[in-house]
Amino acid sequence: MLVVVSDTHAREESKLQGRTLDAVREAEIVVHAGDFYREPVLDAFESTARTLRGVYGNNDDAAIRDRLPEVRTVEYAGVRFAVTHRHRNGDTGLAMLARERDANAVICGHSHRPRFDDGGGLPILNPGSHAQPRGNRPAHAEFEPTAGDENALSGRLVTPDGAVFEEFRIAP
């Protein structure tokens, strides 16, 4: 399983709880799309996740920026993701970033609003924030290989209490 979180905005801990904590512990790879906020939070994620692939966000401190890139590429089960916290040019900029990285989809954060959008031809996922939803539903995303199609991923947006509120599919 691939788990995606973002926008923790904490000083000392990951603020993981419920299904989000379980998913991070179970995942083969955890992607954090930025805004850990302070370095101890990055350390907490690294000690909880088997494999963490993060990027820094606009609110991350210098210590996090020294340890993580602004953009990275993560591949899982044949699907290639371009990962960034935000892009100044919105969805158009995210699509350009995906093309530059030869990615099938983009993962971003920043808005704290969970969403999956594939209406523009390129899937864009924002997992929202599990810890500071700012009026949105607290959430994270989970991906697993699609049964019967080894080149596709089945995804879902999930609340910390385990409620699935959106399901989707990504194929290269």
pLDDT at 149: 82
pLDDT at 42: 98
pLDDT at 88: 78
Q: Scanning the structure block, which residue is given the tokens 């930025």?
A: 34
pLDDT at 133: 96
Edge-first strand order for the sheet with 71-76 is 71-76, 79-84, 105-107, 124-126, 115-117
pLDDT at 157: 98
pTM score > 0.85 for this model?
Answer: yes
Hey, what CATH topology would domain 2-170 get?
A: Purple Acid Phosphatase; chain A, domain 2 (3.60.21)
pLDDT at 119: 86
Cα-based torsion angle of the residue sequence 67, 72, 75, 80 in order, rounded to the nearest 10 degrees: 170
pLDDT at 140: 98
Buried b (16+ CB within 10 A) or exposed e, 8-37: bbbeeebbbeebbbebbeebebbbbbbbbb
**What string of DSSP letters covers 44-74?**
HHHHHSSSEEE---TT--HHHHHHS-SEEEE
pLDDT at 147: 87
**Domain map of the chain by residue range?**
2-170
Those residues of the chain that have pLDDT short of 50 are none
pLDDT at 112: 97
